[in-house]
Amino acid sequence: MMDSNTFELSLEQQFQLQCLHQEFQSLEREQVISYLLDTMQQLMMRDNHIRDLMKDSLL
């Protein structure tokens, strides 16, 4: 059974999120979109890497 706290942000993560929020306030819309797309690409690459690692570990 999974602990319900597993998916909560740590205090450090909450702080980082607040810093990003403040930083984004000063950016233009196009800059925010670019940042978002870059972040999504990195997340997708991470997911692919995790998937490949899991697949390799099952073999």
Distance (Å, rounded) from C-alpha 44 to C-alpha 49? Answer: 9
Distance (Å, rounded) from C-alpha 49 to C-alpha 47? Answer: 5
pLDDT at 6 over 90: no
For the question of whether the overall pTM of this predicted structure is more than 0.85, the answer is no
Amino acid at 53: L
Once rounded to an integer, what is the mean pLDDT over residues 12-22? Answer: 96
Q: Are 13 and 5 in contact (CB under 8 A)?
A: no
20-56 pLDDT, tens digit each: 999 999 999 999 999 999 999 999 999 999 999 999 8
Indicate the pLDDT class of residue 17, thresholds 50, 70 and 90.
very high
Distance (Å, rounded) from C-alpha 55 to C-alpha 59? Answer: 7
H helices within the chain, ranges in order? Answer: 11-25, 29-58
